[in-house]
Amino acid sequence: MGLFKFIKDAGAKLFGGSAKADEISTAVKTTGLDPSTVSFDRTGDTVKLKGEVMTQEEAERMILAIGNTVGVAEVDTSELLIKKAEPATEFYTVAKGDTLWAIAEKFYGKGQGAKYTEIVKANSPPVKNPDLIQPGWVLRIPPKG
């Protein structure tokens, strides 16, 4: 997949500046994902994922769970294999003043703001309350459908 960039000082304060692999794995588990087939190696502000996951969605959710935390600037997936290949979804970095409604209209078209619920479903966590999105968060944008 490659290298995903995040804003180091944006996101949840899950593991601060020096998380070990087991702490990252525990944080990923809290999202409902199973990290048992993936190893995590943190060097500075970069977390490298090695191993395999079942689907593209699982990989993307894992990337976002790790990347949307304070202290992580990059998630490297160059050694992560996906068993069931699917097209990658788009990513969007939340800017100051953004709303999920406006983001939905940007990606799905004018008058489609109500599709923000699809964005919420694709991003739980970090989005727990649709009224409280944070600048700097990176969100998955599901394909039009």
Q: What is the CATH number of the domain that holds 56?
A: 3.30.300
Provide the pLDDT for residue 27.
78
Total structural domains within the chain: 2
Written as one letter, the residue type at 11 is: G
44: tokens are: 């500075």
On whether both 39 and 64 belong to a single domain, the answer is yes
Question: What does the pLDDT look like over 45-59, one tens digit per residue?
Answer: 899 999 999 999 899
123 CB burial (10 A radius; 0-12, 13-18, 19+):
buried
Range of 100's domain?
Answer: 90-141
Question: What does the pLDDT look like over 17-44, one tens digit per residue?
Answer: 556 677 788 878 878 888 999 999 988 8
Q: What separation in angstroms does the CA of 74 have from each of 46, 88, 112, 144?
A: 5, 18, 32, 27
Judge if pTM exceeds 0.85. no
Per the model's pLDDT, the better-predicted residue between 128 and 18 turns out to be: 128
On whether both 40 and 110 belong to a single domain, the answer is no
On whether both 107 and 52 belong to a single domain, the answer is no
